Amino acid sequence: MEAHNAEVGYDRGPPDPAYKVLVLITMALSAMLYSLTITMVNVALPQLQGALGATQEQIAWVVTLNVVATAVVTPLSGTLVAILGQRRLLIWCVVGFTASTMACAAANSLESLLFFRVLQGALGAPLVPMSQAIILQTWPREEHAKANGFMGMSVVIGPAIAPSLGGYLAEEYDWRWVFLMMLPLGVATLFGVLRWIRDGGRRADFRFDFAGFTLFSISIISLQLILDRGEQNDWFDSTLIISLAVLMVMSFYMFVINNCFNEQPFINPRLFANQNYVIGLIMVFVYGSLNFTPLVLLPPLLQNLKGYPDGLIGIVLAMRGVGMVVGFMVAAVMGRLDPRVGLVIGMVCVGASGWAMSLYDLNIGMWDLSWPSVLQGFGCGVMWVPLSIVTFATLPSNMLPDGSSLFHLLRNMGTSLFVAFNVFLLVRTSKIRYSEMVETISPFSERLGYGEVRGIGAIDWISSLGRLASEAVRQSTMIGYNNCFYLYALTCFATLPILAFVTTKKRITT
């Protein structure tokens, strides 16, 4: 077994401190290179729609296809390491991702932009799981909290600051700058990989499970398309969505059967024999659900219901980033404590922020918007480091690439699933509340005689119907957002009992 570890590059002795720091910085840049693209392009969609002459449904594929490509390739990262080795894989991914990003900036048609967005998602998908696996291999276990704290800031804060940064560039310059700004980061990452990343992870006896990969990819693509297009197609009232659901279930069933009878399956079933790792997968699925949902819900709430300009919305989102930075710093200091302490503190903070947001109304002020965002960012920052430690603490070192790939796939899937469900909840509950409100609006309603209810001025039933309908829409939509944040808080608190099953055994090194 020692010979095997030496072959794959996992056992080289303790590296010197300077080398560890340089690897950490390089891998943090690599993770940030991809994580910035998750949310940055979203703010430029209106400009893209006008510049490329696309409809709203067509331009949505710019995001959808990128997410689908990422979901397909992310679990393939461990396999690619076994075939190419970690250094060669990183070089190919960084070069390919940067080149495809520049091609996106130069695109002059929707078709070419969609093609390069698929390449961007596929080539960028291995960057985050590979970065985390290399950091865990390079840094000793007792320093994983410090390393994961720095790494986590690049993974999580990137998408948090991307909307405000992308919005500024698109507004001040052009949508192409949303892509062009990543060129210096890509060049710096490539230099670091060429200079400091060692080879390892390659296996001469590896056999690729093509059938397993194909079946798993079909199921993941079907699920992503259901989540991304479900609301537009009215979910299971659509033949397309029903067909995708059937295809997803059948392909996943065949994938499980193939996995059980294959000597080298696409996803190693031994991963699921590790209790901490399974709990970590559950927790990171919830983490992915909680981390990005406010970034999706808050901007339209503030813009459509409160009339906030983009700059002010960016400040509210930046408050969350401030909380994350503080949270990661605190998590690094708490590294020697039981990781369950950080997980509980983080979960409670995030749940409390969601509960505070569920009490929002149309008279909410800037302070009431800011402090829950700071608390939420703090909770997410504190939680990420112990979550990574718990997940990989007892996982054998030679299983880290496969384990990290599945770990980040579940994080992305949690985000997609929870965001889609929240959009569904927002739309449906808003419609229900609106129908209930308009039933009570009539010339004979005594409540409309109170100024606090009807607003300033008397109600003229001929000229004021539009104003009443508009106010009913605003109020019912606000209730829909309240329901989403209420679900957000309940999901967080309901996850706390799972932490009782976490163990603190040390990782196996063979």
443-488 confidence digits (pLDDT tens): 666 666 555 555 545 455 545 666 777 777 888 888 888 999 999 9
pTM exceeds 0.95, yes or no: no
Low-confidence ranges of the chain (pLDDT < 70): 1-15, 38-39, 42-43, 56-57, 144-145, 149, 155-164, 167, 171, 201, 204-206, 310-311, 314, 335, 441-466, 504-510
Which pLDDT belongs to residue 508?
44
> Cα dihedral sign for 235, 250, 277, 202?
negative
Q: Residue 4 phi/psi, 5° resolution?
A: -65, -45
Helix%, strand%, coil% for the chain, nearest 5: 80, 0, 20
Enclosing H/E stretch for 336:
none
How far, in Å, CA of 123 to CA of 126, rounded? 7
Which pLDDT belongs to residue 56?
62
Q: Which fold has domain 1-207?
A: Growth Hormone; Chain: A; (1.20.1250)
Concatenated DSSP letters of 102-162? HHHHH--SHHHHHHHHHHHHHHHTTHHHHHHHHHHHHS-GGGHHHHHHHHHIIIIIHHHHH
Which pLDDT belongs to residue 4?
39
How far, in Å, CA of 398 to CA of 126, rounded? 17
Place of tokens 């310059």: 173
DSSP classification of residue 211: H
Maximum CA extent, the chain: 86
From 485, 160, 178, select the one nearest 318 (Cα to Cα): 160
CA atoms within 13 A on the CB side of 222: 19
Two tokens at 337? 């404590």
How far, in Å, CA of 255 to CA of 266, rounded? 9
How far, in Å, CA of 166 to CA of 180, rounded? 11
> Cα dihedral sign for 414, 160, 81, 397?
negative
314-352 confidence digits (pLDDT tens): 677 778 878 887 887 887 777 677 788 888 888 899 999
b/e code 404-434 from CB counts within 10 Å (16+ = b): bbbbbbbbbbbbbbbbbbbbebbeebbeebb
Which pLDDT belongs to residue 43?
67
Q: Taking the chain, what is the end-to-end CA distance rounded to the nearest angstrom?
A: 7
Give the amino acid at 301: L
Q: Which fold has domain 270-439+463-510?
A: Growth Hormone; Chain: A; (1.20.1250)
| Residue 376 contacts residue 297 (beta carbons within 8 Å) | no
- How many residues are present in the chain? 510
How far, in Å, CA of 110 to CA of 123, rounded? 20
Which pLDDT belongs to residue 156?
65
| Distances in whole angstroms, Cα of residue 264 to Cα of each of 3, 207, 281, 317 | 20, 7, 22, 45
How far, in Å, CA of 31 to CA of 127, rounded? 6
| Residue 299 contacts residue 46 (beta carbons within 8 Å) | no
Two tokens at 462? 């001929």
| Residue 283 contacts residue 337 (beta carbons within 8 Å) | no
| Residue 212 contacts residue 255 (beta carbons within 8 Å) | yes
Burial of 322 (0-12, 13-18, 19+ CB in 10 A): middle
| Distances in whole angstroms, Cα of residue 371 to Cα of each of 61, 326, 364, 418 | 35, 14, 12, 23
CA atoms within 13 A on the CB side of 438: 16
